Structure 1
Amino acid sequence: MATNTASTGPVWDWAAGHGPVTGALSATTGCLAVATTGTAAGMPPGWALAIGAAGAIGHTVTSLRDRLSARTIGMRAASWLLGAGWTTWAMATTPLSWTALGSLATLGVGIGAAARATLLHEEARELEAIAAAERQVAADLSAERRAIAAEWVDRVQRVCGITVRVRAVEMWPTGTGFTLDADLPPGGATYDRIAREAPKLSADARLPHGCTATASPGIDQGRVLVDVTTVNVLAKEVTYPTDYGPLSVLTGIPWGLRTNADEIRVYLREQCALVVGPTGSGKTNMVHTILAGFARATDVLTWVIDLNAGSAGLPWVRPTLDNDGRPADGMRPGVDWLAASPEEAALMLDTAVRVAKHRKTVYQDLMAQANTDLLPISDRIPQIIIVIDEGAEILAATDRTSRTLAAKILEVIRIARAMGIRTVLTALGATGAVLGNLMIRREAKVRVALTGGETEGMDLAKQFPGSRGLRVDQAPYKGAGFLGTPESPAALFKSWRILPNQIRDITAATADRHPTLDAPSATAAGDAYARRWDADRTAWMRDQPSTPAATSHGQQADQPSRLNLSALRSEQLPTAEPDEEELARRFREQIDAQFATAPETGAAEPDEPQPPAPGGLNLSALKAGDNPAREAALALLLAAGPKGTGASAIARALADEHGTTRQTVVGWLKSWTEDGTAVRVGIGTKARYVHHHHASEQPPEG
């Protein structure tokens, strides 16, 4: 059945209530209809009066229930009674006379005017009630603020020995605390006199654990702001926001939340960053939070260096790679370049230096047009941010490879600020070795310390010089710590918890948002950058067997590239076939020729002088005629695998069968370390020794 939607006139809303005009019209027409009908039907006139009285009583009851004013109640009751009175009179005479009709019209006008007046009165009364309620709330809040102000004036006087005057108390919208804006007393008092007593103020106020009272500079040097946290927000895990909207390095990248639940944004256009966090403090999660912000930015290309198997960057790359290790069609990895080896890292850093130097020359006209000495960063000329996991440890290391990488990192930091290349370094601890480099202290003004309750190696005074009242025990929770930027002093914060599925979602949501390297920079970067996703350079990212196949003797199957030291095995493998024995003989001859190993026992005449063996790989420990205890000790060292072992453990294992002492084992380990058979890891009581075959499998410390 078709529906005719054409407009045929005004549309009446029968559910709408009556106003002053329609109400009066409805009342008068109703009275006229009842009077004419009742007269024609011979209805007794008194019935109309009884109905009007009932209506007046009913409206009076409902008006009292709705708490309407007396004026409104009187107007409604009078309307019912006047209408009923006119109807009764009209039925007793005649409702269709000019006298009756004129008096009814006059009655209707009077009812409408009275209804309009009472409506305005009710609106004014309602507005006044709302205003009175707001004044009462303001008065109560003002009383609460005055009480807080008086309490803290007394507390500052008692703890800090100075008298302040509180100008205002701002309650945080999150309900987790408040801020005091106070005038310092005359005579040269400064805000840090309160700041250094922050722990005492927190204790005096009986604040919950994880809550602090911290002082910071006010609007001028004679004012102080005291932020008081009353609810511990650090203990709660806060998931990374699901809004993956676009960001910009120019407007700040969010890194977490302050204790007042305000979002913290860091500005890395000119600044480098240093993130410190011991094992278990949430540093890896913080790195992923940082990478998430960079992935959302439309003017940032992220390069990642992680010499620990590239674990920091792999979750941002793997979901976008095809079987050949290249980004799939229509997908862009969450990071633009990932290096997991010293060679790839050196290639990346060299490329960054070339790009920075080329930008200095090719963009001179652009900077002149913009009247700036900083390269204008945009989605067409993106900023390059190099995230180096445990990069501070690389700077502090003394081995040749680390020193080479450290020099390249410092060169990037030193020359590339104006050209839009910055670094984010992470470290396991805020120690003098990490923070001893002047370049890092000068350039890394954005600093994060994730404490996790760890006190060893967390010198907050070194990481945040000039900040007072910072204690590790204020942030004993995972993902909690201190963050300071040039825009805001160091204070407590909470890092978001980012889950693996969110990393995949962000990677997919931002795949079409990542900028591409500008043409001049890409020219300077050359093949090193253009071929970064070649199959041979991404082979390590693909799936590898999780557990090597085991032989019938419980040993892992030997890889073709590994040395088969069967002399160190506790069980003898089956006798090799003749061709395998020939290969083994040739292999030993090649080792003897290349490394000048010790000759076989009995190979030379007893009275023939033995030439001294030059330095090299000494496999004499594997010869059948060598010390059995020493052979057993070397076998234990090899069996210990990448975890390594110590002198005491080896001595205990050999004591019953060989009677070997710890001092003897220490001598062997020392000699093996000197000739390259073993590698020492750690210092002091935590030192352990790893066979050189497993040294490459050693994870970085921490």
Structure 2
Amino acid sequence: MTTNTQASTGPVWDWAAGHGPVTGALSATTGCLAVATTGAATGMPPGWALTIGAAGAIGHTISSLRERLSTRTIAMRSASWLIGAGWTTWAMTTGPLTWAAIGSLATIGVGMGAAARSTLLYEEARELEAIAQAERQVARELSAERRAIAAEWVDRVQRVCNITLRILAVEIWPTGTGFTIDAELPPGGTTYDRIAQHSAALSADARLPHGCTAVASQGVHQGRVLIDVTTVNVLSEERTYPSDYRPLSIYTGIPWGYRTNAEEICVYLREQCALVVGPTGSGKTNMVHVVLAGFARTTDVLTWVIDLNAGSAGLSWVRPALDANGAPVDGVRPGIDWLASTYEEAVLMLDAALAVGLRRKVAYQDLMAERNTDQLPISAKIPQIMLVIDEGAEILTSTDRRMKDLAKKILEVIRMLRAMGIRTVLTALGATGSVLGNLMIRREAKARVCLTGGEVEGMDLSKVFPGSRGLKVDQAPFKGAGFMGTPESTAALFKNWRILPNQIRDIVLATSDMHPTLDDISRKAAGDAYASRWDPDRTAWMRDTTRTPATDAPAQTAGSTGALNLSALRNEAAEPQTDADALAREFMAQIDAQFGTTREPGQTKDQGPQGLNLSALRDDAGAGPEWLPSAISAIYAAGSEGMKPAAVADAVGRGRESVRKALKAAAERGELIYRDRGPHSVYVHPDHA
């Protein structure tokens, strides 16, 4: 049998709730009436009511003192008990059911309610005033701390920089790791650079811990300066990559690390390229993984990776999505969209990128006209392609013929495909003129990272961040720490997160459904090279633990093509040395001794015989005329002063016009640096730039 229970729609009483002014007064008066009536009927002595009332008054006084209530509240509560006890005693004597007794009890109840309401409001106001007083005390203490900081730094800047500041505000960082000073510069054309160049001196004068700095930057206008002072070294501790893998976008920024104030720093790469510089042991490989992790979380980016060092930068992001046979794992997509570990695969990737960019320029004209923009609208349907090239800066400066072919394609991608949503992230081993001498890198890679790890050699921060002052390598002696600058954020100390292989696998699995797919127009332009990139035969090297991609191709023998088996084209370190090899080397030595009269390009007559003039040992493609090496050597010998084109022409014995053309082409390739000084213009070697 089923019983239907109908919910009551009447008022609901909360019996656990405390009494208010009305219910408290009603409860007290009805209680007094009940006691008086019962006492009169049973003949209870009237003095008991007074005794109970006095005990209640004493008890409430003690409890109110413990609660630190006001004297007004304590008096009201005690008086309520005594008045109620007095009325009960009188009513028991004269009769509680008379109109006089009931009327007087009602009057007492109204008085109790009004007094209770008044004291309640008073206690609330008293409590709010106490809170406000505490807040004012904290504000006074904080204001005093800020005033002390302001006075201290006014004296310090005057002492170190000989500049008198007028400090307008001091903001304490919520993280508790430092503060920012907002100051007005003195009149007379003083700029913030005057303070920025004394960053190290200010830090030393303030006795800041190692890894903490005082960095000056631009204020809201040119007459203001912001001084960020770090007091806690957050760079010394190791922090793992955040486990919050929420989706990102190329437009909203991608976090690459955190500043000394513990805030994340993001890069915006829709139109910019990026450059990551770091010597061996500085944490550059970990930084590459942080970059790939950020791209894996974006919903409008596909990542293509070129790493000619056996593809090590991208393997961890691919293997979780492939089984032992190279077949895709159900429901899992690689963290990167393409991985090239060999020269041949890199050529396919770069050719596909160029084909995609050129095709997009034509196919999406209507879409760009509809959106009224000259840039391709990037979205999950038309994703941006980010080319991450490990040690790509070294590829651009290599003299090897095959690397020069790759460099030419990389520069074409950088130069031509910005509007079509194809950008690059290049890494380099050092911040030297030979690496950063290429104008295209300096112009397009506006987001720059320089990991130092305490390394001093080959870390010229002025080449990575020209115009920035007060940056010193010894400020970031920790692995994974260095300097980072973007168009949105000036160059300053930062550190990237530590990311481990097991976390890379977690990111691949967690972000698998976030990755976009290449749009149909771009996929058709990329062709079969892109469509078959994950075929088992092209990914076999990822599962072969006995060989690396660099040794997969069989060595060419002398008899295979009928050509000379030249040692310049072999990897002799990988081949066993036999008696026949020794005999061949002795035979070649005898030939060189008797017939070695042909000079290599750039070799003078005084240098003597150098052996056969083998084309395998030269790089004629795009290297300029044969006298150019001698000209570059002369410019190198001139040091930082450089040489005028006329002086170079006299040194090599060539016409000035041809020399100017050759030197200009060498500067465009990054082999020289041109300093425009009008009639005194010179060419300088990158190592002396």
Q: TM-score per shorter chain, which class? A: 0.7 to 0.9
| C-alpha contact (below 8 Å) 1:460/1:470 kept by paired residues | yes
Matches within 5 A, 1:473-488: 473-488=474-489
Tell me if structure 2 keeps the 8 A contact 1:616–1:675: no
Rounded to whole Å, the distance in 2 between the matches of 1:242 and 1:615 is 50
CA 1:489 to 1:592, structure 2 compared with 1: closer, same or farther past 3 Å? closer
Cα deviation for residue 616 of structure 1 reads 9.1
State how far apart, in whole Å, the 2-side matches of 1:526 and 1:273 are: 27
Amino acid at match of 1:196: Q
State the alpha-carbon separation in 2 of the partners of residues 36 and 620 from structure 1. Answer: 119
The 5 Å alignment of 1:157-236 reads 157-236=158-237
- The separation in 1 between residues aligned to 2:529 and 2:510, in whole angstroms, is 28
Give structure 1 stretches of 5+ with no counterpart.
Answer: 548-557, 564-586, 598-612, 632-669, 678-702
Alignment match, 1:125:
126
**Mapping 1:656-671, distance limit 5 Å:** none
The alpha carbon displacement at 1:327 in A equals 2.5
- 2:7 is matched with 7
> Relative to 1, partners in 2 of residues 1:251 and 1:626: Cα closer, same or farther, differing over 3 Å?
closer
Residue by residue over 1:507-531, the C-alpha shift from the partner in whole angstroms, topping out at 9 and shown as x without a partner, is 1111111111111111111111111
Q: Is the 8 A contact 2:541 2:547 kept in 1?
A: no
Matches within 5 A, 1:596-607: none
Q: Percent identity, aligned pairs only?
A: 73
Distance 1:507 1:559 in 2: 28
CA–CA separation in structure 1 for the residues paired with 2:585 and 2:338: 50
Distance 2:553 2:351 in 1: 34
Cross-structure match for 1:567: none
The runs of at least 4 consecutive aligned structure 1 residues that moved more than 3 Å come to 1-6, 558-563, 590-597, 613-631, 670-677
1:365 maps to 366
1:395 paired residue number: 396
Deviations 1:257-277 (A, max 9, x none): 011111101000000000011
Against the structure 1 CA distance between its residues 125 and 616, is the aligned structure 2 distance closer, same or farther, given a 3 Å change threshold? closer
TM value normalised by structure 1: 0.80
Conserved in 2, the CA contact under 8 Å of 1:410 and 1:439?
yes
What is the SS of the residue equivalent to 1:537? Answer: coil
Over residues 229-287 of structure 1, what are the superposed CA-to-partner deviations in whole Å (9 max), with x where a residue is unaligned?
00000001111111101000011001110111111010000000000111111111111
2:302 maps to what in 1? 301
Q: Distance in 2 between matches of 1:493 and 1:136?
A: 36
Q: Distance in 2 between matches of 1:560 and 1:139?
A: 75
Equivalent position of 1:50 in the other structure: 51
Could you list the runs of 5+ residues in structure 2 that have no partner in the other structure?
588-609, 618-689
Describe how 1:51-130 pairs up with structure 2 within 5 A.
Answer: 51-130=52-131
* Residue 593 of structure 1: how far off its partner (Å): 9.1
2:513 and 2:6 map into 1 onto residues whose CA distance is 48
> One-letter code of the match for 2:366?
D
> Aligned-pair distance for 1:66?
0.7
2:568–2:616 CA contact under 8 A, matched in 1: no
* Farther off after superposition, 374-383 or 535-544: 535-544
CA–CA distance in structure 1, aligned partners of residues 563 and 29 of structure 2? 121
TM-score by length of 2: 0.81
Counterpart residue type for residue 105 of structure 1? A
Q: Give runs of aligned pairs for residues 19-34 of structure 1, distance below 5 A.
A: 19-34=20-35
Q: Does the aligned pair in 2 maintain the 1:615–1:675 contact within 8 Å?
A: no
In the alignment, which residue of structure 2 is the partner of 1:319? 320
CA spacing shift, 1:59–1:626, aligned 2, 3 Å: closer
In structure 1, C-alpha distance between the alignment counterparts of 2:581 and 2:516, rounded to whole Å:
66
Q: Residue 428 of structure 1 corresponds to which residue in structure 2?
A: 429
Which amino acid in 2 is paired with 1:496?
Answer: W
Measure the CA separation in 1 of the matches of 2:68 and 2:523.
76
Note the C-alpha offset of 1:323. 3.5
Give me the whole-angstrom Cα distance separating, in 2, the residues matched to 1:39 and 1:676: 127
- Which residue in 2 is equivalent to 1:503? 504
Q: In the alignment, residue 435 of structure 2 is paired with which amino acid?
A: V
Query: In the aligned structure 2, how far is the partner of 1:217 from the partner of 1:122?
Result: 50
Whole-Å separation in 2 of the counterparts to 1:86 and 1:340: 99
Measured in 1, the distance between the counterparts of 2:492 and 2:128 equals: 44
**1:276 has 2:288 as partner:** no
Task: Give 1:4 shift.
Answer: 8.0
CA spacing shift, 1:5–1:438, aligned 2, 3 Å? farther
What is the Cα deviation at residue 630 of structure 1?
Answer: 8.1
Q: Which amino acid aligns with 1:485?
A: T
Instruction: Return closer, same or farther for 1:460/1:246 CA change in 2, 3 Å cut-off.
Output: same
Structure 2 residue 260 is matched with structure 1 residue 264 = no
1:243 alignment counterpart:
244
Aligned residues: 589
Distance verdict in 2 for CA 1:314–1:614, change over 3 Å: closer
One-letter amino acid matched to 1:84:
A
Q: CA RMSD in A?
A: 2.9
Tell me by how many angstroms 1:401 deviates: 1.3
Show the counterpart of 2:287: 286
1:230/1:334 CA distance change after superposition, 3 Å: same
Post-superposition shift, 1:290?
0.6
CA shift at 1:38, angstroms?
A: 1.4
1:394 maps to amino acid: I
Q: Indicate conservation of the 8 Å contact 2:202/2:214, yes or no.
A: yes
